[in-house]
């Protein structure tokens, strides 16, 4: 099936509810009025010449504007595709959530705290071996500020298995720097 539409914006940011009850931030999305339904998320967004320009990812929720969908631009997808195909996708071994004012309050942090909260640490994964714990908030990587889970995920994706990264972590005992050696993402986490 093919639907038609127009790309109306190229750098949209949206918040999407996640399984933990929080939300994840998606940035630099293409906004389109092409129909995106639950069955075609992950499908191709192509231009008039049949060239792949994005991967359909989300649609506006009921009650929001109708016929608005979002796609991840292909230039943001290709590095991950290449990592998967080569078996070189790096893995930190955590489940993350963007810190919002509600989560900051739950963690006893100021409402304006930004970062990627560690929701769960995979046992025997790189982050767990380095001492990260559920409830820690990652606020930086290799000297660069991290304001959301997506920013951290993208920063990790730009590395390779075996690379060491320095994470700035806000936890129950204050701020600390943690060095983590990234591993190859196990097949069960692809």
Query: Which CATH class, in words, describes the domain spanning 90-189?
Result: mainly beta
> How far is it, in rounded angstroms, from Cα 74 to Cα 85?
16
- Helix axis angle for 74-86 and 149-157, nearest 10°, is 50
**pLDDT tens for the chain, residues 1 to 190:** 566 778 888 888 887 776 666 677 777 899 988 877 766 667 888 888 988 888 888 887 665 566 788 888 998 888 878 877 777 889 999 999 999 999 999 999 999 999 999 999 998 899 999 999 999 999 999 999 999 998 999 899 889 999 999 999 998 789 999 999 999 988 777 5
CB 40 within 8 A of CB 69: no
Query: Which CATH class, in words, describes the domain spanning 7-86?
Result: mainly beta
Q: What residues form DSSP beta bridges with 164?
A: 181
Question: Measured between alpha carbons, how far is residue 190 from residues 18, 24, 64 in Å?
Answer: 18, 19, 32
Domain locations along the chain:
7-86, 90-189
Structure tokens at 43: 């499908």
């Amino acid at each position: 099936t093919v639907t038609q539409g127009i790309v109306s914006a190229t750098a949209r940011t949206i918040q999407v509810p996640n399984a933990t009850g929080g939300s994840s931030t998606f940035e630099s999305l293409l906004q389109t009025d092409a129909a995106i339904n639950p069955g075609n998320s992950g499908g191709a967004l192509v231009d008039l010449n049949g060239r792949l320009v994005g991967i359909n990812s989300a649609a506006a929720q009921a009650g929001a504007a109708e016929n608005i969908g979002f796609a991840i631009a292909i230039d943001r997808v290709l590095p991950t595709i290449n990592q998967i195909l080569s078996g070189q996708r790096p893995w930190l071994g955590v489940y993350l959530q963007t810190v919002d004012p509600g989560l900051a309050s739950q963690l006893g942090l100021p409402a304006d705290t930004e970062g990627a909260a560690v929701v769960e640490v995979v046992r025997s994964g790189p982050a767990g071996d380095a001492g990260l714990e559920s409830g820690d908030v990652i606020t930086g990587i290799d000297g660069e500020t991290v304001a959301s889970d997506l920013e951290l995920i993208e920063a990790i994706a730009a590395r390779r298995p075996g690379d060491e990264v320095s994470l700035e972590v806000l936890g129950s005992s204050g701020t600390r720097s943690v060095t983590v050696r990234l591993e190859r993402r196990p097949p069960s986490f692809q």
